[in-house]
Amino acid sequence: MAKLPKSDLVKAIEVHIPSITTTSQLKSISSGLFNSSYYVDNNFVVRVAPPDDSVFVFYERGMMKQEQGLHELIQAKTTVPVAKIVAYDTTRKVIDRDFMLMERLPGKLATDQKNADWEKILFQVGRHLAEVHSLTAVSQKYGYLGEHQPMDPQDTWVDAFEVMWGKLIDDIVMTGYYGDKEKDALTGLFQEHRALFDRPVLPHLLHMDIWHQNILVDENSQVTGVLDWDRALWGDPEIEFAVLDYCDISGPAFWEGYGKKRDETPEAKTRQVFYLLYELQKYIVIEAGRLGQKKSASQFTRQVMDIVFKNFKKSL
């Protein structure tokens, strides 16, 4: 990723906050894995999108576009702590990337807060996600519905996930880590189990990237911020639960806060495998295409193949 001169970024920010000057301090936030993020004079945070020529998972290109509307919705309809967005700038007048400027929330990243009470934190995360999941799309459509428009909105969740599954596999084919054999096998695998996804479920708002570094907490382990809503989609909360499983969030304290029991039927567990595969496969694109980490991409590919064989007795 091309290095962005901090002096140019300060000039771009100054358009929205005139008090910012070339002597202002920008401190890099190391937790940002997609965007480049900085604290600005300890009062604001600026997030800068990757260059346009980066390799993206299909839903990542321009996904920052949906964040302002989501923040406003969450602030209006829930008690979930999200930052006020000051500006979303796509003008490219000073820097050649989109960027977002927001107020800095109190607290530290959960991983940086010493002596954090994880049970207390996960309880609150569960409670907050329950509020988020209570929001449903006004359009009653499913999928990635944001302004970045990575897919056509669908009338049912099964149709939306089918599109998402296919687009992600196509992205991996583009990296060279899947060929026609793997594409056909994984497409066919979903078709074999498609009926399990064809069930009545509302288009719930899903965060899809809750992990320890997207949670801010204070010294009393009170959650003060839930960060990075750019991967949000509208659909079945079960797919969110798979991300929480992968990120080690979905422990007993989380479910206590969430206030609902998880579906443990065989059908739900099969869906859970597909949702885990959806989460894992994105890393093949990210590692191989964007980060140039061929060894890591191969490891994720092997992990996907192992899960498919273990659960479905099929070799890719």
pLDDT value at 31 more than 80: no
CB-based contact 125:210 (threshold 8 Å)? yes
At 20 the pLDDT is 78
pLDDT value at 1 more than 90: no
Convert the pLDDT of each residue in 39-64 to its tens digit. Answer: 998 889 999 999 999 999 999 999 99
When pLDDT is averaged across residues 69-88 and rounded to a whole number, the result is 97
Q: What DSSP state is assigned to residue 289?
A: I
At 41 the pLDDT is 86
At 25 the pLDDT is 79
At 30 the pLDDT is 75
Convert the pLDDT of each residue in 236-285 to its tens digit. Answer: 999 999 999 999 999 999 999 999 999 999 999 999 999 999 999 999 99
Q: What is the pTM of this model?
A: 0.95
Q: For the chain, list the domains and their CATH numbers.
A: 6-104 (3.30.200.20), 109-312 (3.90.1200.10)
Q: Give the three-state DSSP class for 224.
A: strand
At residue 146, what is the residue type? Answer: G
CA–CA dist 40, 87 (Å, integer): 14
Convert the pLDDT of each residue in 6-19 to its tens digit. Answer: 888 888 998 898 88
| Entry field: residues in the chain | 316
- pLDDT, mean over the chain: 94
Q: Give the three-state DSSP class for 211.
A: coil
pLDDT value at 204 more than 80: yes
DSSP strand E in the chain: where? 26-29, 36-40, 44-48, 85-89, 99-103, 108-109, 204-206, 215-217, 223-226, 233-235
CA quadruple 144, 149, 155, 160: dihedral positive or negative? negative
Bin 171: left if φ > 0, else alpha if -120 < ψ < 50, else beta.
alpha
Q: What DSSP state is assigned to residue 263?
A: P
Pairing relation of β-strands 36-40 and 26-29? antiparallel
At 97 the pLDDT is 94
CB-based contact 54:197 (threshold 8 Å)? no
At 27, is the pLDDT very low, low, confident or very high (cuts 50, 70, 90)? confident
- Alpha-carbon distance values, 172 to 57, 137, 159, 176, 302 (Å): 9, 29, 20, 7, 13
Convert the pLDDT of each residue in 129-183 to its tens digit. Answer: 999 999 999 999 999 999 999 999 999 999 999 999 999 999 999 999 999 999 9
At 219 the pLDDT is 95
CA–CA dist 132, 307 (Å, integer): 30
pLDDT value at 32 more than 90: no
At 2, is the pLDDT very low, low, confident or very high (cuts 50, 70, 90)? low
